[in-house]
Amino acid sequence: MSYKSKHVGTGVIEADMTQNRALAILGLSLAFFGYAFYFAFAAVQGDYGLFRRAEIDAGKAQLAFRHAALQAEVAELENHTLRLSDAYLDLDLLDQQSRDILGYIRADELVIH
């Protein structure tokens, strides 16, 4: 074998290896950027992403507001219950409730519909 034949054959093999290496690097780079894009998209748009987190926080604020309103309503109902109980009877509230619910009126009052 001559010196020239070794280098000619080796040059072709080296060119194929260089081309294969370039394709491998290109393929790995595309795979890396594809996975990076996928995970970035999932971090923003996914079920546990930033947009979903913002929706959950907004829902939490709405539920906190609703909870406060319901607590105020419960406190008002507890107050009315206490005022109508046997231990504490508010005559003004009893008079108001009897007028509203039962339709009672005094003899000296005039009702206009």
DSSP string, the chain: --HHHHHHHHHHHHHHHHHHHHHHHHHHHHHHHHHHHHHHHHHHHSTTSHHHHHHHHHHHHHHHHHHHHHHHHHHHHHHHHHHTSSSS--HHHHHHHIIIII----TT-----
pLDDT for the residue 25? 93
pLDDT for the residue 83? 83
Range of weakest confidence among 11-15, 64-68, 93-97: 11-15
Q: Supply the pTM of this predicted model.
A: 0.50
What's the average model confidence in pLDDT over 83-101? 82
What's the average model confidence in pLDDT over 32-53? 92
pLDDT for the residue 61? 95
Confidence of residue 11 (pLDDT cuts 50, 70, 90): low
